[in-house]
A and B are shown apart, each in its own frame.
Chain A
Amino acid sequence: MKIKLLLIPIFLFINTYVWAQTDYTPIQCEGIIPSEFITFTSEKVKAANENYKGKYKMQVSKRDYKRYNSESTFFVDYLLKNGLILFGTPMNDYVNRVGEYVLKSFPGIADEVRFYIVKSPSVNAFTNEQGIVFINIGLIAQLENEAQLAYIMSHELIHYKYNHSFESYKEKVKAASDWSEYRNLNSAAKQSRLLQYSRKHELTADSLGFLESFANTDYSYDEALNVFDVLLYSNLPFNEVEFDTSFFNDANYTISQKAILKEVDLISNPEDYDDHEMTHPNIKKRRSMMIDLVTTMTNPNTKKFIISEEDFFKMQKQARFEMSNLYLSNLQYDKAFYNSYLLLRKYPNSDYLNKTIAFSVYGIAVQKKLGRLGDVIKSYKKIEGQSQRVNYLFKKIGSKELSAIAVKLLWKFHKTHPDDEFVSGCLNASLKLLIEQNYIHYSSIIEPLKLEATKNKQSNDSLSQDSTTSFKKLSKEAYEDLSKYDKIRYDKKYRQYYGSKSSARKTIKTKNYLRVLSSETTDPAFKTLFKTIDKQSDEEQENGDQIVRSVLLVNPVFYRVRNDVLVLKDGEMSEKKFTKSIIDVAARNSIKVKTLDILDIKQDEVDKFNDLTLLNAWLNEYGDLTDIEDMQYMIPWLSNYTNDVRKKYHLRYIANSGLLEIDNIQRVNSRIQSLIGAMILWQASPYFIAKALGNDNELYHYFYLVDMETNQLIVEDYNQMSSKPTLDVVNSMNYYSIYKIKRSK
């Protein structure tokens, strides 16, 4: 028995890092679900409202205090209950251990604080009044060492310790009051002053985070300064490596010259940017203040790691892998491509990275063809550094050529992973795009030219050693070993001495897109697949629709806003009634509705929680993609991971629905008008009196149903009505949506 118990952590450890040896799968929560994930939001708000005493009572009215609790709790719960927060993972474990170490300097609040990881690619961390410190995966991917993480934590804990969140709210209330010093200011001036107040908090958190916490640790003080580099360049990928445009080339195909950016824009140094409309001071101000602080103190420590260097880099690696997944599900295909490209250099055999690269090119090809490139890649003009070359390529390359490249990459992956249904689906869809939208048929592809294989990699002589100048050139290897921030500095100096690093490329002008798949034509299997898809496109598509008998309803929501304030009281009960209404009216149409709802999940049901998280994310991604004119060419990235869930729930159709009630007190003018109406048209006075006594209610309802097998949107229904959410109205709204399902077949 003891041996078995001993084996469990070992097994867990192996299981967790199994991707390191084989491949990566996106991070999922583990263990017991923390109670705050499943406690009703209304209960949390109720409990928080009961704390209206002491310092709070002195500072704000009860109404404002309740409003603050509603808003802040709702925001945090939205993150917790929608699967955006990770718990129980080794990454959490490591962050908690660093957190515990930092919390030694915060004895009064140590028991109240929790650290969670946010599945977001943005470089950020934040805290709230309830003592939760959130750290984004995007930040973890960019941090260079544990000391930087510890300093960020110190900063956030100061926000919590000194109630900065509540103080900011209080200031906002003051600004809205006619009796404060804000009264003579116009709205722009008020906003400016509030932002100034926020910036003051940030500087306080920077300085006190260092003085009260970080300085008491054994970490190197320098890292409290270096962390500002991370923040300054947070818009850049985690590394700066030249994108090799021969990446897509093979013996028979060379990428079009027009798609190659000769010279990338240097990364500028916007340290002293205008921060007047920002919540945070600019980096120059923050760094200057910190330099003054740090240099006045003797730094006895040089440690960048205390808890575990190994675990930090494992966590960093995992975060960087996860970034590709997050970028793809957020439709940031350019970033996903470059992120995976950077990682692929170190992990060339990673199936996950190759798949993310193939998918991101496929996604960009579809969007480009459908005229929505701007939705998935950023303009290269707004990008600096090496990744600019990637965005330039996707912008300038022809749509046909890019679609063919997508097929090429997916085919390459498919060849080595024929059982991967997701990639097979993407491959078929990309071939369909090639044939139906780009009008490239198998017969149009130019047969292999049997050209002498050209060297794909152009020599980059700009990085070779040159002893004639005082500037020391680095070898390519040495350059790549530099940190992202050192590379930025090196590039600037290099440009000063040598100018640009551009190099000439071979040009093939005529119908280059017909050469992309030349090499693949030598493969009979490719020919067969291509011709099969071509034939299917010619033929009338059989309608494979089935009658919808069963639907999984994921996280239905009900929100109530009264007089511009979110009302959470009894929100869950209303949500349950709303869900029951959907189930009931669906049953009238012989459709069985199962629900996967955070309100029904228990603490030991982490698998169910992960399923919910995945399906939620899938629906979000799908929702963003439905702008695409035709979903037959585009498969959501997260479909890659939904197969198991679909099997588990015998699921084909997935639905999401929500109800928003906006209840505003009727304006006095409207009431008076109604009363005048009642007096003039006295015969109809009951109607006008009822109108005068009522409120302005608006009800918004949405429902959509997707076939996960075909990715087709079966029903998309929006309803709006001037009414309270009475049972008849809610039933009717739901019935109309469900009725559309029946009518869709």
Chain B
Amino acid sequence: MSKLYTSLLSIHKIKILIIIIFLSFSYNASAQYIGNPGYLGKHFIISGEGNFGGSFYYMKKFWIKYGVSTEFILRPRLSMGISYMHSSSNISATYTDDCYEYNHFTFNTHEYGLDIYLYSKKLSPLGKFYRFQFAYLANYSDDFFKNGTLLPNKDPYSYRGYTSDRISSSNLRLSFFFGKKRIFYNAIVVSYGVQFGLTLLNPLTINALEIQDNFTDNNESETANERLFSKTTANENFYSSFINFKVSIGFIAI
């Protein structure tokens, strides 16, 4: 994996970035908090969310993601929050290591998002709104090196050179959402709308940047498989996030 690629996706740095952005917003928000009526004095929303999306050209594939989000109303037209979403799917791919050939793996993603909501009218959290999300996507597979078929002429007890079946990668994504929000019984919050997502490092951008592997590792096959996993998951994330119908149901309180 390239240095550039690795450094950009450093979890540590991303976490710091999220904290800095969040703190800077919270600081401004606390300064302006006084003028914040919320919905009947309530400012905090916690919701369960579902994303439903499919590829443009590959109609058979349909992704469902689910998760949870929080939103805190800061101003009559502005609120912020964080969100988490999970998705899991089976990926068909053919790859080998020194001993085995594999043809599928289970792909999981944990998405951690920082959300900014802008409402079209000064009645947040009601009505038309836009949601901008900056998300960190942690991808992994627990069975990437599992369920393989022994290659010909290989001893089933031969050492594979690694201790875990798990493999991981990460992506960044920017999303834009527009939709509507309603509140029932002064407590239940329902929203729906359309989300467009752009995974930043996707197969296209990777190719465009011509990122090459500079490692001269002894374990060539492992590096190649990690790259395959990264590209495959980036590809999946790109297409699964590109257009979604999003629904959420939650509660408003405090």
> B166-193: contact bitstring with A at CB < 8 Å (1 yes, 0 no)?
0000000000000100111010000011
B127 partner residues in chain A, CB cutoff 8 A:
721-723, 729
Instruction: Tell whether, in the assembled complex, residue B194 and residue A728 are in contact, meaning their CB atoms are under 8 Å apart.
Output: no
Is the contact region of chain B dominated by helix, strand, or loop, or is it mixed? strand
How close is A374's CB to chain B, nearest CB, in angstroms? 34
Instruction: Tell whether, in the assembled complex, residue B40 and residue A735 are in contact, meaning their CB atoms are under 8 Å apart.
Output: yes
Q: B18 interface residue, CB < 8 Å from A?
A: no
Q: A546 interface residue, CB < 8 Å from B?
A: no
Instruction: Tell whether, in the assembled complex, residue B37 and residue A683 are in contact, meaning their CB atoms are under 8 Å apart.
Output: no
Instruction: Tell whether, in the assembled complex, residue B54 and residue A728 are in contact, meaning their CB atoms are under 8 Å apart.
Output: no
How close is B53's CB to chain A, nearest CB, in angstroms? 5
Selected interface stretch from A69-77, A178-186, A296-304, A684-692: A684-692
Q: A17 interface residue, CB < 8 Å from B?
A: no
Instruction: Tell whether, in the assembled complex, residue B194 and residue A681 are in contact, meaning their CB atoms are under 8 Å apart.
Output: yes
A585 partner residues in chain B, CB cutoff 8 A:
40
Q: A276 interface residue, CB < 8 Å from B?
A: no
A690 to B192 alpha-carbon distance, docked (Å): 10
Instruction: Determine which of A589, A683, A729 lies in contact with B53 in the assembled complex, contact meaning CB atoms within 8 Å.
Output: A683
Instruction: Tell whether, in the assembled complex, residue A728 and residue B121 are in contact, meaning their CB atoms are under 8 Å apart.
Output: no
A682 partner residues in chain B, CB cutoff 8 A:
54
A723 partner residues in chain B, CB cutoff 8 A:
126-127
A722 partner residues in chain B, CB cutoff 8 A:
120, 127-128
A732 partner residues in chain B, CB cutoff 8 A:
39-40, 123, 126, 183
> A704-725: contact bitstring with B at CB < 8 Å (1 yes, 0 no)?
0000000000000001111100
B243 partner residues in chain A, CB cutoff 8 A:
681, 683-684
Instruction: Determine which of A683, A728, A731 lies in contact with B245 in the assembled complex, contact meaning CB atoms within 8 Å.
Output: A683
Interface residues of A in 720-745 (CB under 8 A from B): 720-723, 726, 728-729, 731-733, 735-736, 739, 743
Interface residues of A in 521-562 (CB under 8 A from B): none
Known pairs A722-B127, A736-B37; A731 contacts B186 (CB<8 A): yes
Q: B122 interface residue, CB < 8 Å from A?
A: yes
A288 to B14 alpha-carbon distance, docked (Å): 92
> B48-86: contact bitstring with A at CB < 8 Å (1 yes, 0 no)?
000011100000000000000000000010000000000
Interface residues of B in 34-52 (CB under 8 A from A): 34-35, 37, 39-41, 52
A588 to B41 alpha-carbon distance, docked (Å): 8
Instruction: Tell whether, in the assembled complex, residue B123 and residue A721 are in contact, meaning their CB atoms are under 8 Å apart.
Output: yes
A729 to B243 alpha-carbon distance, docked (Å): 29
Instruction: Tell whether, in the assembled complex, residue B41 and residue A735 are in contact, meaning their CB atoms are under 8 Å apart.
Output: yes
Interface residues of A in 376-433 (CB under 8 A from B): none
How close is B177's CB to chain A, nearest CB, in angstroms? 10
A440 to B244 alpha-carbon distance, docked (Å): 70
Instruction: Determine which of B35, B52, B76, B183 lies in contact with A728 in the assembled complex, contact meaning CB atoms within 8 Å.
Output: B183
> B118-148: contact bitstring with A at CB < 8 Å (1 yes, 0 no)?
0011110011100000000000000000000
Among A681, A688, A719, chain B packs the most CB atoms within 10 A around the CB of: A681
Instruction: Tell whether, in the assembled complex, residue B194 and residue A684 are in contact, meaning their CB atoms are under 8 Å apart.
Output: yes
A683 partner residues in chain B, CB cutoff 8 A:
52-54, 243-245
How close is B78's CB to chain A, nearest CB, in angstroms? 14
B128 partner residues in chain A, CB cutoff 8 A:
722
Nearest B residue to A734 via CB reads B40
A693 to B249 alpha-carbon distance, docked (Å): 22
A687 partner residues in chain B, CB cutoff 8 A:
179, 192-194, 245
A465 to B39 alpha-carbon distance, docked (Å): 81
New A-B contacts (18) at CB < 8 Å, excluding given A683-B244, A732-B126 = A588-B40, A684-B193, A684-B243, A684-B244, A687-B192, A721-B121, A721-B126, A722-B120, A723-B127, A726-B182, A728-B126, A729-B123, A729-B126, A731-B186, A732-B183, A736-B76, A739-B41, A743-B34
The 9 A-B pairs of least Cβ separation, nearest first, read A684-B194, A739-B37, A728-B183, A683-B243, A684-B245, A683-B53, A732-B123, A721-B121, A687-B194
Ordered by A's residue number, 17 sampled pairs between the chains whose C-beta atoms are within 8 Å are A682-B54, A683-B244, A684-B193, A684-B244, A687-B192, A687-B194, A688-B194, A719-B122, A721-B126, A726-B182, A728-B182, A731-B39, A733-B123, A735-B37, A735-B39, A736-B76, A743-B34
Task: List chain B positions with a Cβ less than 8 A from chain A.
Answer: 34-35, 37, 39-41, 52-54, 76, 120-123, 126-128, 179, 182-184, 186, 192-194, 243-245
